[in-house]
């Protein structure tokens, strides 16, 4: 009920306590200005129109981030085809630029990006969230959202005849005057508003706005997953209304999620299920720096032991099935049939690499069993050691509130909050306040929207995690992919061999998949 007091409270809170005072921004694409640019692809030249800095909400809180860049092949204005697509059928590639739960400006094509995002160490160095390196770039390591530049996914999309709609979004540090305005769920609300702008203008923008394919990496992967999972959910309505989002649908066709740092409220226990007993860790290095090696303190070791114990009941509560319909269970000690799913995921990764000609031997990878040139088993505890811990415990909800995720879960007036009962109870920070509200935590977790009657979850999913990535537990994306499979979604999930924390790799494979679902 959008006229209720709870909506009014939400709306003003969400705007940082202020009602909108400016002139309403038109959401009509007809008024949008463009320039014509050219992209070179081999010896072909591709002309396209660049519509940039389109504010996608009528009551913007922050015009730096609540804008979208839309790129359209010129051919569609001349009724020509590209890659079999027409001005009516071309899918829409929707790369977000969220990284590190930071605000992200809309990605540009054909000019150097004005901002290179660096993920600051959220607050201080004592805890676990990495000081991740800056901007993405093609297939490079995350953090920093959508890559731009030659051979980036957005450029390739344009070459393949896609409409590119690149949204910006607010993030954990966004501020207006003395209020924070980008705290959860602002990033996802903004992305939904951008989708709604596209749908509102579906007759005016070439392409098929019912074929929106979202793409993101890391925190942006989490946002892409959430966008795919939570389509049209009413939970977000007051927030969308407060910023003047178009009054239309926001479900999407497909979601591509690279190393999604998601399911934050269960990710701490997943991390300790994987890395408990591994006490030294190497954080992520800032560009040009070597990561420090640290050892868990005795307090952190106790936290690890505690959190590990929480994971089995979570896994069992999901009632996940394997691909043959058999229930996947976890025993109290973290063993059980669920682990077969993880083993299979790693095994498949190795076997794909072997098929692609990689020299994979037991000598090099002692945690693999290889028979007749095929990986047939994985020793999980050895594999987890080989991957190695990257974060202290808890990995996400820092007891001292020092992680990026604590800052993401803050409010207009409280910079950092806990979002798990465990860290709330074991808080060591001086400025302890109430835990983030359950409603906000839910609105940030894609798991809570799959098979939920109140959401229109996307049908097609491309989910990737790096075989060597330790930014979250392998269990997190694997559980997500399996849950989607159990709901009969079309899921392409793969662990990328020898890959760390990265996105938009294997562009040819990615576009083959996109073209297959879109045509
Ligand atoms: C990102 C990485 C992390 O390890 C994390 O905790 C949050 C975000 C990122 O790269 O976006």
What is the tens place of the pLDDT at every residue in 178-190? 999 999 999 999 9
Q: Is 143 in the pocket of ligand 1 (CB under 6 A)?
A: yes
Task: Return the residue matching tokens 């306590």.
Answer: 17
Using the predicted structure, report yes or no on whether residue 121 has a pLDDT greater than 50. Answer: no
Residue spans of alpha helices (H) in 230-337:
237-242, 264-275, 298-318
Mutate to test the pocket of ligand 1, among 117, 118, 127, 129 (most ligand atoms within 8 A of CB): 129
Give the mean pLDDT of the chain: 91
Using the predicted structure, report yes or no on whether residue 353 has a pLDDT greater than 90. Answer: yes
Separation CA 75–CA 68 (nearest Å): 21
pLDDT of residue 151: 72
* Residue 120 banded pLDDT, cuts 50, 70, 90: very low
Point out which residues pair with 45 in neighbouring strands: 40
Higher pLDDT, 56 or 8: 56
48: CA distance to ligand 1 center in Å? 33
Rounded to an integer, the average pLDDT of 138-149 is: 50
What DSSP character marks residue 365? -
Residue-wise pLDDT for 482-498, tens only, equals: 999 999 999 999 999 99
Token pair of 103, please? 């605000």
pLDDT of residue 291: 79
Rounded to an integer, the average pLDDT of 458-462 is: 98
Percent above pLDDT 90 for the chain: 83
Residue-wise pLDDT for 377-389, tens only, equals: 999 999 999 999 9
Among protein residues, the one with the nearest Cα to ligand 1's atom 2 is 100
404: CA distance to ligand 1 center in Å? 8
Q: Are strands 175-176 and 179-180 parallel, antiparallel or unpaired?
A: antiparallel
Task: Name which of 141-145, 387-391, 442-446, 509-513 the model is least confident about.
Answer: 141-145
The string of DSSP codes covering 47-111 is: EEEEEEEEE-SSS-S-TTTSEEEEEEEGGGGGT--BTTB-TTT--EEEE---BTTB-BPPP-SSS
Residue-wise pLDDT for 17-53, tens only, equals: 677 888 999 999 998 999 999 999 888 899 999 999 9
Among protein residues, the one with the nearest Cα to ligand 1's atom 1 is 100
* 105 upstream amide cis, omega within 30 of 0: no
Using the predicted structure, report yes or no on whether residue 88 has a pLDDT greater than 50. Answer: yes
Nearest to 100, CA basis, from 169, 160, 1: 169
Separation CA 242–CA 72 (nearest Å): 30
Q: Are strands 293-295 and 280-282 parallel, antiparallel or unpaired?
A: antiparallel
Residue-wise pLDDT for 316-327, tens only, equals: 999 999 999 999
Rounded to 5°, angle at Cα 86 from 81 and 89:
150
Atom of ligand 1 nearest to the CA of 99: 11
Cβ neighbours of 96 (radius 10 Å): 29
Token pair of 474, please? 């392998």
Three-class DSSP labels, 146-162? CCCCCCCHHHHHHHCCC
Separation CA 253–CA 209 (nearest Å): 9
Higher pLDDT, 125 or 353: 353
Question: How many residues does this entry show for the chain?
Answer: 519
Point out which residues pair with 215 in neighbouring strands: 95, 256
100: CA distance to ligand 1 center in Å? 5
Supply the ipTM of this predicted assembly. 0.99
Q: Is 276 in the pocket of ligand 1 (CB under 6 A)?
A: no
Among protein residues, the one with the nearest Cα to ligand 1's atom 7 is 100
Atom of ligand 1 nearest to the CA of 219: 11
What DSSP character marks residue 327? B
DSSP, collapsed to helix, strand or coil, labels residue 460 as: strand
Nearest to 101, CA basis, from 323, 408, 388: 408
* Residue 292 banded pLDDT, cuts 50, 70, 90: confident
The H-or-E segment that residue 508 falls in is helix 507-518
Mutate to test the pocket of ligand 1, among 131, 132, 221 (most ligand atoms within 8 A of CB): 132
Among protein residues, the one with the nearest Cα to ligand 1's atom 3 is 471
* Confidence (pTM): 0.93
pLDDT of residue 21: 85
pLDDT of residue 71: 98
Rounded to an integer, the average pLDDT of 207-235 is: 98
* Residue 127 banded pLDDT, cuts 50, 70, 90: very low
133: CA distance to ligand 1 center in Å? 10
Q: Is 91 in the pocket of ligand 1 (CB under 6 A)?
A: no
Q: Is 510 in the pocket of ligand 1 (CB under 6 A)?
A: no
Using the predicted structure, report yes or no on whether residue 335 has a pLDDT greater than 70. Answer: yes
Q: Is 98 in the pocket of ligand 1 (CB under 6 A)?
A: no
Task: Name which of 2-11, 90-99, 383-392 the model is least confident about.
Answer: 2-11
Contact call for residues 319 and 310 (beta carbons, < 8 A): no
The H-or-E segment that residue 349 falls in is helix 338-355
């Amino acid at each position: 009920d959008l006229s209720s007091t709870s909506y009014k409270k939400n709306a003003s809170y969400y705007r940082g306590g202020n009602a909108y005072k400016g002139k309403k921004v038109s959401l009509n694409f007809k008024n949008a200005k463009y320039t014509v640019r050219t992209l070179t692809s081999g010896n072909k030249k591709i002309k396209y129109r660049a519509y940039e800095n389109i504010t996608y909400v009528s009551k913007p809180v922050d015009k730096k981030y609540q804008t979208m860049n839309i790129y359209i092949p010129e051919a569609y204005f001349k009724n020509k085809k590209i890659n079999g697509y027409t001005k009516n059928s071309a899918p829409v590639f929707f790369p977000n630029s969220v990284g590190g739960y930071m605000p992200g400006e809309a990605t540009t094509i054909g000019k150097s990006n004005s901002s290179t995002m660096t993920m600051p160490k959220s607050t201080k160095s004592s805890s676990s969230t990495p000081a991740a390196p800056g901007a993405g770039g093609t297939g490079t390591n995350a953090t920093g959202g959508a890559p731009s530049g030659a051979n980036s996914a957005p450029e390739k999309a344009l070459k393949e005849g896609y409409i590119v709609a690149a949204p910006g979004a607010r993030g954990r540090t966004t501020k207006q005057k003395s209020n924070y305005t980008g705290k959860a769920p602002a990033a996802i609300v903004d992305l939904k508003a951008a989708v709604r702008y596209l749908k509102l203008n579906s007759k005016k923008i070439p392409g098929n706005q019912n074929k929106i394919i979202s793409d993101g990496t890391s925190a942006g992967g989490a946002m892409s997953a959430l966008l795919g999972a939570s389509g049209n959910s009413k939970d977000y309505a007051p927030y969308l209304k407060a910023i003047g989002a178009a009054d239309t649908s926001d479900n999407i066709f497909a979601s591509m999620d690279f190393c999604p740092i998601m399911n934050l409220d269960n990710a701490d226990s997943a991390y300790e299920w994987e890395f408990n007993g591994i006490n030294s860790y190497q954080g992520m290095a800032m560009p040009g720096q070597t990561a420090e090696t640290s050892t868990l303190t005795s307090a952190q070791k106790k936290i690890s032991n505690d959190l590990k114990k929480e994971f089995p009941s979570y896994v069992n509560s999901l009632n996940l099935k394997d691909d043959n319909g058999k229930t996947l269970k976890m025993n109290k000690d973290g063993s059980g049939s669920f682990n077969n799913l993880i083993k299979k995921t790693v095994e498949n990764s190795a076997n794909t690499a072997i098929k692609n000609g990689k020299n994979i031997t037991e000598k090099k990878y002692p945690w693999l069993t290889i028979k007749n040139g095929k990986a047939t088993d994985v020793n999980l505890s050895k594999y987890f050691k080989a991957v190695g811990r990257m974060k202290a415990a808890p990995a996400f909800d820092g007891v001292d509130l020092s992680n990026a995720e604590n800052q993401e879960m803050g409010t207009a007036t409280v910079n950092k909050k806990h979002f798990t009962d465990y860290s709330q109870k074991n808080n060591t920070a001086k400025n302890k306040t109430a835990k983030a509200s359950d409603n906000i935590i839910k609105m940030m977790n894609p798991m809570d929207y799959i098979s939920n009657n109140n959401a229109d979850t996307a049908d097609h999913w491309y989910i990737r995690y790096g075989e060597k990535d330790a930014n979250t537990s392998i269990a997190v994306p694997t559980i997500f992919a399996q849950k989607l499979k159990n709901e009969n979604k079309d899921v392409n999930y793969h662990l990328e061999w020898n890959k760390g924390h990265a996105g938009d790799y294997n562009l040819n494979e990615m576009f083959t998949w996109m073209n297959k679902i879109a045509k």
